Structure 1
Amino acid sequence: MAKKPKKEENPKVHKDLEGFKMSINSFGEISSSFSIDKINEFLNKNVEDKKLRDRDDLEDIPTEKKRKGKTDSE
């Protein structure tokens, strides 16, 4: 019995990352369909940095409460 050819499915991604593709060439270089700046902008907007979460000296870093539209006084 012959093997079925594998379908190439696109992974489920966030709507802001539609069309994002990554590949590694034969030299081990990573290439992407998005620029590093666009990926970093997405990560800064959507992912909380655990290392900076409890620091008091960094007021301009959004916390989970501030991201959801709440303030610290609530």
Structure 2
Amino acid sequence: MTKKKKKNEDPKVHEDLNGFKMDINSFGEISSSFSIDKINEFLNKNVEDKKLKDRDDLKSDEKEKKS
């Protein structure tokens, strides 16, 4: 048996994303309470890109930025 969620219940989110809401209207357009730039900034900071993790040229760039 599956559990049904209440529609009024807010999902658990990362503390940086509190207040984040996404809606899809009848035309299929996605609207969000955060700007795309803010979402991308969060993802860049918190999610590792699997396609780029083995590239040597990016690893050396990251080391230079930390110095």
Report the TM-score when normalising by structure 1.
Answer: 0.71
- C-alpha RMSD of matched pairs (Å): 1.5
**Comparing both structures, which one devotes a greater share of its residues to helix?**
2
SS at match of 2:11: coil
- Gapped runs of 5+ residues in structure 2? 1-5
SS at match of 2:16: helix
Matched, 1:44 2:44: yes
* Correspondence for 1:66: none
Q: Moved runs in structure 1, 4+ residues, more than 6 A?
A: none
Matched, 1:60 2:61: yes
Q: What is the rounded CA distance, in whole Å, between the counterparts of 1:60 and 1:13 in structure 2?
A: 31
Q: How many residues align?
A: 57
> Displacement, 1:61?
4.4
Q: Offset at 1:60?
A: 2.7
Counterpart residue identity of residue 33, structure 1 = S
Q: Which runs of structure 2 are paired with 1:1-74 in the superposition (5 Å)?
A: 6-58=6-58, 59-61=60-62
Higher relative contact order (CA 8 A, sep 6+): 2
Give the TM-score of the pair, scaled to structure 2: 0.78
Consecutive unaligned residues of structure 1, counting only runs of 5 or more, are: 1-5, 63-74
Bigger Rg, structure 1 or 2: 1
